[in-house]
Amino acid sequence: MDDLVESILDYIRADYTDYAIMINGEWGSGKTYFWNHKIRPKIEAMQVGGKKVTAIYMSLYGISNLEEISKKIFIETTQLMDKNLKKYMDASGIGNIPEYAKTGLDMANFFGVTQNGDRLDYAQFFSTDDKVLCFDDLERANVDVIDILGYINNFVEHDHIKTIIICNEKELSTKLKNSNLEMKTFIATYLLDKENKLTMKTDKPMVERIRDTIEYVFDKANDYERIKEKLIGETFEYAPEFNYIINGLLMRYEAYPDLIRFLRENTNLITSTFNKSGTRNLRILKHALNDFKKIFDMVAKSYPNTNNRILQTMLIFTIAISFEIKAGKITKDKFININSNEEYKSILVSSRVFMDNRQFYIKEFDNNYYYNFKAEYRFFKFIEKYIRTRIFDMKVFKENMEVIRNTIDTSQLPGYKRLLTEEYWKIPDDQFEGVIDQTLEDVKNGNVELIQIVKLFAYFAYFIKKDLIRYDMRTIKSVFFNGMNIASLTSSYCSNVDEELSQVAIEEDIASEMEEILVHFNEINLQLKDKMYREKAEEIFKNIPMKMEQFYDMFDKECMNIPILKYYDPFQMFQRISCASNEDMVTIKEKLVDRAKRFTKEIEPEMPNVKKLKQIIDDYIDGKLPSIKIVLLQDFTNELGNILSMYKQPEPVDPQENYSEEQKIYN
């Protein structure tokens, strides 16, 4: 991002330019925020020829004629030249004049109210070398884009004013193609009819013929490209640094200590949910966080003991449902008939167990936003209704919260779950020691999932540092090491370690203590990964040769980018392949070849077993008389050889190879 800022500033610093620059990016991705907070302050801190540079910003949103642009420029420049106004803005720390104030000032100037006898400074008015024009929302203007660019070209080509255009070219392209579409379609149909091409037999569909005619007759896109080539010297693609921008969004909640602490602790969840939305629309995220503030305040006020996991799930759900509805992904009624968390879960069970595709969207929503996030309660009707209708229904809110309180009562949870889902300071002093003892007992007996033991150790190390518990670090570490060994017998492989551990704030003074625990965890977790893949390999390959459809389905969905052959015995693989039908043998071979081409790097760890499988097949067919099966096995082993050749390292070059005879003798 700094490189982009510097490139734009280089354009401003240049002594002479006869072109504008463009900043292109998606709607809501923060382009205007980028201008206001990154570019404009640096431009206005610059000086050209001893004069301070003035940045003049104009949104073209809703502009219906070119005269309105001229008015906007006049208002911006004349107001900034008014001494009293400038003095007031400097004293008040105001950087931009609100649109409402501009309207009033414009009328005041018209009636002579604010003139104060000052004469217009024509030298400043005619000065152009200290001005930078910024035109935003080009694609949202109600004027022909070609006309606007031609208008802007006057400033750039004739006056050499540094000019920046901010837009979304993807939407601009759509607008150019779709403007007056009904009229264009009518004329294109008329022309095709006059040329007797409307009823002419051809392989090209009618819709495509009409579209081609429209593009030929009304090729605005080419007009745009021609004037853009003349006007725009450089186009910069704006790819926002989401962490920086999200941090900026959170700053507006600094006045609310509990909320900002919660949001900062869960920045990873916010970023992750935002990324899963599949959009870059930060405007929707901003609105979602604002909605969550009301939700957080209402929960804190009416149900102050709500555990942290529920609040985290509410945060995910608020952001997710906002994107789904406001980004136009779904119609608003997708969730309207789901009235409770139980109904939501029953739909998921129906779609997963009974393959009920009527609720396919709900299953996809859950798989996407709650992937690797375990929560029993993850549908909140009061939030869904609030986002959909903008009405915060207190009755539904209380009904939802009472169900949560009665079904997820922290006092009934095991001690370790209370530590993981509830801020420890919310545990009463008379219960804290019991929670610690119960948690240690569960850790000691391996009753806790492996990744949760790692999280719990972070808490215990913190408690020891704060003298909240009476154990020493060495004893606790020994208990946790042994507990991890026992838990490994029943735990599952954790694939999202970073995301899980991000839920726990690890203090700097316990980082060294955590390192040893993390090393041990990673060793066990890798063993669990091997165990998981061995079981998966057995489950998948046992379908050869009797259940081939099931094998193909599982292999395509679960094995394409993982080195599954590393975890299956090559001789057993050969036995199963050799028992398969000739057709299936060819299909398996083709799948392995295609997979190796697409995921070469990912499956490299399985190559030793691929090499063994090839050797087993070679030994089997050696000396056998040709038959269809033998020929197919020969093809199979040849393709395995081709796959292996993708990983061959180049032969080391003999350092003496290029030496002269005299050099070789000397060496």
Average pLDDT for the chain? 80
Counting runs of H as helices and runs of E as strands, what totals does the chain give?
33, 7
Q: Is residue 650 predicted with pLDDT exceeding 80?
A: no
Asked if 196 contacts 54 with a C-beta cutoff of 8 angstroms, the reply is no
Q: Cβ contacts of residue 147 below 8 Å, gap of 6+?
A: 66
Task: Tell me the three-class secondary structure of 108-161, residue by residue.
Answer: HHHCCCCCCCCCCCHHHHHCCCCEEEEEECHHHCCCCHHHHHHHHHHHHHHCCC
What's the pLDDT at 59? 86
Q: Residues 27-80: pLDDT tens digits? A: 767 788 888 888 899 998 888 777 888 888 888 888 888 887 777 777 666 655
pLDDT in tens, 176-207: 655 555 655 656 675 666 676 666 767 677 77
pLDDT surpassing 90 at residue 634: yes
Measured distance CA(487)–CA(446) in Å, rounded: 4
Angle of helix 473-487 relative to helix 511-541, nearest 10 degrees, comes to 0
* Three-state SS at 340: coil
Residues contacting residue 359 through CB under 8 Å, at least 6 positions apart: 347, 348, 350, 351
The reported pLDDT for the residue numbered 549 is: 92
For residue 527, which amino acid is it? Q
Q: Distance between CA atoms of 19 and 232, rounded to whole angstroms? A: 6
Residues forming a β-bridge with 57:
134
Please compute the mean of the pLDDT values over residues 644-661 and round it to a whole number: 62
Residue-wise DSSP of 463-500: HHHTT-SS--HHHHHHHHHHHHHHHTTT----S-HHHH
User: What mean pLDDT is predicted for residues 488-517?
Assistant: 77
Spatial CB neighbours of 473, under 8 Å, sequence gap ≥ 6: 461, 464, 513
Residue (of 72, 74, 76) closest to 143 by Cα position: 72
Encoded tokens for 167: 């837009």
Name the strands in the sheet holding 20-24, side by side, starting at the edge strand that comes first in the sequence: 54-59, 131-136, 162-167, 20-24, 232-237
pLDDT one-digit tens code per residue, 419-463 = 776 667 778 888 889 889 999 999 999 999 998 898 888 889 888
As a whole number of angstroms, the distance between CA 102 and CA 597 comes to 62
- As a whole number of angstroms, the distance between CA 231 and CA 312 comes to 49
| Structure token pair of residue 493 | 């492989």
Q: 6-27: per-residue pLDDT in tens?
A: 888 888 888 888 888 898 887 7
Among 108-122, 212-226, 537-551, name the one with the lowest average pLDDT.
Answer: 108-122
Q: Percent of the chain beyond pLDDT 90?
A: 32
Q: Which of 87-101, 190-204, 338-352, 389-403 has the lowest mean pLDDT?
A: 87-101
The confidence score (pLDDT) of residue 466 equals 85
- pLDDT at 507 (0 to 100): 63
